[in-house]
Copies of this chain bind each other. A is one copy, B any other.
C-alpha cells in the first residue's frame, strides 16, 4: 500500500533550497495543502499535489515538508488510512487531538527564528493563511508566497493536465432566474457595501450565477474559471475553447453580455480594477491568499459573497426541480433495495462494488440523469463504521444477511442534486443494533420536525439530532446537516448544522435545502446512518417568535426507512405518527410511478416497507 516518497522529497528539498524569497534564497519548510486554486472540496487529478507528495490520498489533509522531516496533518476520519499509506519519511499529525499542535504552532516551535515557510499562495485560502502567518510571526518566522508550484516542478510531465471539458448551458426552465436578475441583486448588495466589484473564485458560485455547468471535477458540475462582477461588467476568466456553442444565445436569453478573458488573466484583471476604481472590492475569506493579497487591505470586504447566500436559497424552479429529482431518485433507490434484498435472500453474489454499480444503473435510467453526485458509500458490516468509506477491491465485502448494510449515495439531475442514506439489515439485527438505529431515527425525526426562529444558525439545532443517542451515552463524530447545490456540489455552504459553527452561516432561511443525517458507528462492527434532504419551510405554529418568523423542515427524500430495525417501545406516539405519515407519503408519491412503469416487483417491496408500525 505504501509508495516510497524518498525521491520526491529529495527533489522537493532541492527546490526549497533554491526558492527565491525577496533577495534571499531558501525556505525552511513548504506547505502543500489539498486545495486547488478555487478551494474546491473535491479536486481534479492535476490538483492532487498533497496526495502525490505524501502518498496519502484521503480527501482532507495538509503536508508540511521541512529540510529535516515531512509531516502530514489529517483528521480522525483518516488516521488509519494515513498510517497505511504514509511511508517512513512521514510523521502523521493527528488533527483534532488536543496533544496535536496546529501547523502554525508546530512550525513556530520547531523552526529557528528568522525562517521562511513557503506555500503556493493560490492553494491556501486567506482564512487558513492568516492564523499560520500569525503563529509564525510570533516566533519571528515568516509565511511567504512562492511563485510557481514546487510540487508541479517535481511532478513534471507525469502530472495530469488541468481538465478542460466543454461547458453546458442551463436553460431557464431549469435555472429559474436569468443572470440579469441575479446580477441586479448582487449590484444592490455591492452598493450597500460601497463596493465596486465582487471577485468570485468558488466554482459552484460561478456556475450558478451564470446558469452554466461543467464537468472539470468529478461529481461536481463545475468548470475552472474566475468571475468578476462589477456594476456594469461581467468578466469571466475561462479558457474560451470550452465555452458552449450556444453561448451567444445563452447571453441573450439571460439579458447580459459576458466578457470572456483568459483563465490565467484573473490576477491582472483584479489589479486593473484596484487601480482604476476607488471603492471597495468584495472577496470571500475562503478565496486564496493570492487573489486576496492583490487587493489592498483597506479596499477589501472579506465576507461570504452575496452569490453564495443567494445560491443557497432556492428559487421556485429550483425547488420544483429538487422535489421532482428526489422523487425519481427515490424510485431508483427502491428498485435497488428491492433487487438487493431479493438477491441476498437468494444467496446471490452481490458485493459492495457490484451493488453500487447496480444502484448507478437504476439511477441512469431516470429522466434528466447526469451522473453521480459523489462516490457511492456502499458498506457492509465493519466497513459501515468508516464514515467516509468507499468500496475498493481490497476492502470489498459481500452484502449478506448477517451484517448491516449502509448505503449513502446521490446523483446529479438536470433539475437537482440528491444525497440519501439508508441502513438495512437483510437478516436479524442484534438488540443493540436496533436500539442504536432507533435512537438515530429518533434524532432524525426530532431534528426534522423541529420548529425554530427564522435565521438561527444551523449549529443551534445540532443537539436535537443527538439527544436520543446522548440519553444512553452514544454519539456520532460528524455534523448533522450540510447544504446541497441545485445540480451542483452535493456539499455547499454557507450554512450547515454541526457541533462547530460554520463561520459564514447567515442563519437558516426558507427554501434552503440541507441534509438531516444523524448516525452511529461501532468501530470495526457496523455503521448506521439515516439521511434525508429537507427543505426549510414556514412553520405553522400558534405564535411567530415576536414576528421574527417560524421555520421548520419538509423532507423531500422519498425512500422508506427499514422498520425491521426499529424498537418501537423506544419511540413516542408522536414519533410513530411522524414515521408512519412519512411512509404513507412515500407510498402515495412513488407507487403511482412504479405502477405506471409496471414495476410490480419493486411495488410489492415498497408496500411491505411502508407498512405502519
Q: Number of copies of this chain in the oligomer?
A: 2
B499 touches A470 (CB 8 A): no
A493 an interface residue at 8 Å Cβ cutoff? no
B140 touches A473 (CB 8 A): no
A297 an interface residue at 8 Å Cβ cutoff? yes
CA distance A450 to B471 in the complex (A): 7
B470 touches A450 (CB 8 A): yes
> A467: which of B450, B473, B474, B548 is its contact (CB, 8 Å)?
B450
Kindly list chain B residues whose C-beta atoms are within 8 Å of the C-beta of A572: 572
CA distance A452 to B463 in the complex (A): 10
A471 touches B501 (CB 8 A): no
Kindly list chain B residues whose C-beta atoms are within 8 Å of the C-beta of A474: 543, 545
A472 touches B138 (CB 8 A): no
Output the residue of A452, A462, A539, A572 with the most chain B CB within 10 A: A452
A80 an interface residue at 8 Å Cβ cutoff? no
Among listed A163-171, A253-261, A453-461, interface-contacting one: A453-461
Kindly list chain B residues whose C-beta atoms are within 8 Å of the C-beta of A450: 467, 470
Query: In angstroms, how far is the closest chain B Cβ from the Cβ of A297?
Result: 7
A97 an interface residue at 8 Å Cβ cutoff? no
Given A460-B499, A463-B464, A545:B453 Cβ within 8 A: no
A293 an interface residue at 8 Å Cβ cutoff? no
Contact pattern, A 367-385, Cβ under 8 Å of B = 1, otherwise 0: 0000000000000000000
Q: Which bucket holds chain A's interface residue count?
A: 35 or more
A451 an interface residue at 8 Å Cβ cutoff? yes
CA distance A137 to B300 in the complex (A): 12
Kindly list chain B residues whose C-beta atoms are within 8 Å of the C-beta of A542: 472-473
> A543: which of B297, B456, B473 is its contact (CB, 8 Å)?
B473
Kindly list chain B residues whose C-beta atoms are within 8 Å of the C-beta of A472: 451, 541-543
Which residues of chain A (539-559) have a CB below 8 Å from chain B?
539, 541-546, 548, 550
Residue in B closest to A113 when the chains form the complex, CB atoms: B298
A541 touches B473 (CB 8 A): yes
Kindly list chain B residues whose C-beta atoms are within 8 Å of the C-beta of A467: 450, 464
> A475: which of B453, B463, B499, B501 is its contact (CB, 8 Å)?
B453
> A452: which of B453, B456, B462, B470 is its contact (CB, 8 Å)?
B470
A139 an interface residue at 8 Å Cβ cutoff? yes
Query: In angstroms, how far is the closest chain B Cβ from the Cβ of A286?
Result: 19
CA distance A545 to B499 in the complex (A): 15
CA distance A544 to B470 in the complex (A): 9
Query: In angstroms, how far is the closest chain B Cβ from the Cβ of A524?
Result: 12
B460 touches A461 (CB 8 A): no
Query: In angstroms, how far is the closest chain B Cβ from the Cβ of A159?
Result: 40
CA distance A140 to B297 in the complex (A): 11
CA distance A471 to B548 in the complex (A): 14
Output the residue of A139, A452, A467, A473 with the most chain B CB within 10 A: A473
Query: In angstroms, how far is the closest chain B Cβ from the Cβ of A538?
Result: 11
7 shortest interchain CB distances as A-B pairs: A473-B543, A473-B541, A473-B550, A472-B542, A138-B298, A460-B463, A472-B541
| 22 residue pairs bridging A and B, Cβ less than 8 Å apart | A137-B298, A450-B467, A450-B470, A451-B471, A456-B499, A459-B459, A460-B462, A460-B499, A463-B463, A463-B464, A464-B464, A464-B467, A471-B541, A472-B543, A473-B539, A473-B543, A473-B544, A473-B550, A475-B546, A475-B548, A501-B501, A572-B572
